[in-house]
Structure 1
């Protein structure tokens, strides 16, 4: 990973014109799929803010739309507050929120179930936060087909890191995904929720980083958690969907399991490429388990 210690000079100049003098606290990691962001302090009042630059105009538009039209529905303190935007610089300034990412929480399972219940409740509010259009309904069926295509293409590049049986399973899951039935749509977050959900010391749950938001099948927002803590502590999944207000329907469950297995296969191949046998063994177990669950339905 590489870090850019300060925003580009034009972005920093714009930020200080809108907010006053700023001091950069932390450089931004610039080679991750999420947008570069810099934590800063406004010297006039000591407020901690974040200067963000979108990766492209589409991401800028998505994040700006989310802050203006969806984030207000989440409630006070549950997301950063938008302070300024610059289309010319593809930049935004937002407030920062305290908290530990969901993936990094270390607490008793009973407490984690409370956090995941709150996460389900918060995601349900996001999914219902903005009205989708006819275009969203038209495009939704193609989303899973495109993901199946991507899985098949990825298999072509990492096939030598998977066994013949594993390759067969990935191909079968990709084809099963193409024929998933009609799935519930919503305004999804679209990012790695395990790192974008923050739990603070005062028991507040917040959501950040909205550059991937869009109207799509809501099942896409469940995959990261299904590949993470839910695989180890299944009762967290139950708590999440209790907070969400409903469990996945039959077709949605199949799609979720297919997507979880395909993600696991990708990470299995990556772990083997890195020589990480422990991670590879873990992802292999997840792939086998979820594949068997799909076949049983």
Structure 2
């Protein structure tokens, strides 16, 4: 159940300096205690979003993304940043067209069209431009950084994993540390249908608080563990529009990252009362154990 969250009065007054008087506020946060997003409606019916970031890191990532990365997606393909306030961790955003994909009754053909447009937009994001030296170093270290988080999540998941499952995850983490070069770029960081809006205008992406320099394949982990597992036609549509198949190194890295995502899900999901995330982790681990430990 979505928690009731009130927009802080100081944040509303700040937003109204740009929007004019607000006549209605609607909580649109995700069902997560640190998610804080509201839809604002002005006197003339215009609407905006105001978001309070959960941390300085996420605020910094998201404001940078909106200023330097997101515009490459094109008109109506993402919200635009109207203003930000660092001391409040607040962002004021325009509304992108469309509604959340998960709430739509789409045909198989429409789902393929959605994934094709997601592939196109990810290609634009990943190819936004040459990384500077600092960003390239961060991106190049991203797989090792993912592996380095393994023990923390195994500790949090505890007895939710068997000893054999824990060893499987550690084996995949060790493989990630030995990887050679893979394509790098800016990734969305939470690339999945809940952050996709669909309309007659096409697909738009939202929620860029995890956008950062990284191995590009990291943007495919949730899709590969959920959408594409049961619908390979959606994966084919995505990759055709993305413009290339994954390299052998990327395919191997993706499998390793999926294993790490599973233990993350089993650590985070139960602690945050999120059965969908928990089920994703359990399904992934069960599948990997069948395939790797027959």
TM-score range, shorter chain: 0.7 to 0.9
- 2:113·2:237 contact (CA, 8 Å) conserved in 1? yes
Aligned length: 292
- 1:258·1:291 contact (CA, 8 Å) conserved in 2? no
User: Which residues of structure 2 form unaligned runs of 5+?
Assistant: none
Deviates more, 1:103-112 or 1:74-83: 103-112
Q: CA RMSD in A?
A: 3.0
Q: Hey, what's the Cα distance between the residues in 2 that align with 1:33 and 1:146?
A: 26
Q: Counterpart of 1:23?
A: 23
Q: Counterpart of 2:217?
A: 219
CA deviation after TM superposition for structure 1 residue 88, in Å: 3.5
With normalisation by structure 1, the TM-score equals 0.86
Q: Hey, what's the Cα distance between the residues in 1 that align with 2:191 and 2:34?
A: 9
Q: Hey, what's the Cα distance between the residues in 2 that align with 1:46 and 1:277?
A: 37
**CA shift in 2, pair 1:278/1:97, >3 Å:** closer
**CA shift in 2, pair 1:269/1:187, >3 Å:** closer
**CA shift in 2, pair 1:279/1:158, >3 Å:** closer
Large movers: runs of 4+ above 4 Å: 268-285, 290-295
For 1:113-132, list aligned pairs within 5 A: 113-132=112-131
Deviates more, 1:161-170 or 1:217-226: 161-170
- 1:190·1:220 contact (CA, 8 Å) conserved in 2? yes
Question: Aligned to 1:191, what secondary structure does the other structure show?
Answer: coil
Q: Hey, what's the Cα distance between the residues in 2 that align with 1:237 and 1:247?
A: 10
Q: Hey, what's the Cα distance between the residues in 1 that align with 2:206 and 2:34?
A: 11
Q: Counterpart of 1:238?
A: 236
What is the CA deviation profile of residues 159-209 of structure 1, one whole-angstrom value per residue up to 9, with x for unaligned ones?
Answer: 422223222211211111211221111111112532111112x15100111
What is the CA deviation profile of residues 229-275 of structure 1, one whole-angstrom value per residue up to 9, with x for unaligned ones?
Answer: 11111221111111111111111111111111222244356678899
Q: Counterpart of 2:146?
A: 147
1:14 to 2:11 alignment: no
Question: Aligned to 1:16, what secondary structure does the other structure show?
Answer: helix
What is the CA deviation profile of residues 98-140 of structure 1, one whole-angstrom value per residue up to 9, with x for unaligned ones?
Answer: 4333344432222211110110001111112243111222233
Question: Aligned to 2:193, what secondary structure does the other structure show?
Answer: helix
- 1:35·1:211 contact (CA, 8 Å) conserved in 2? no
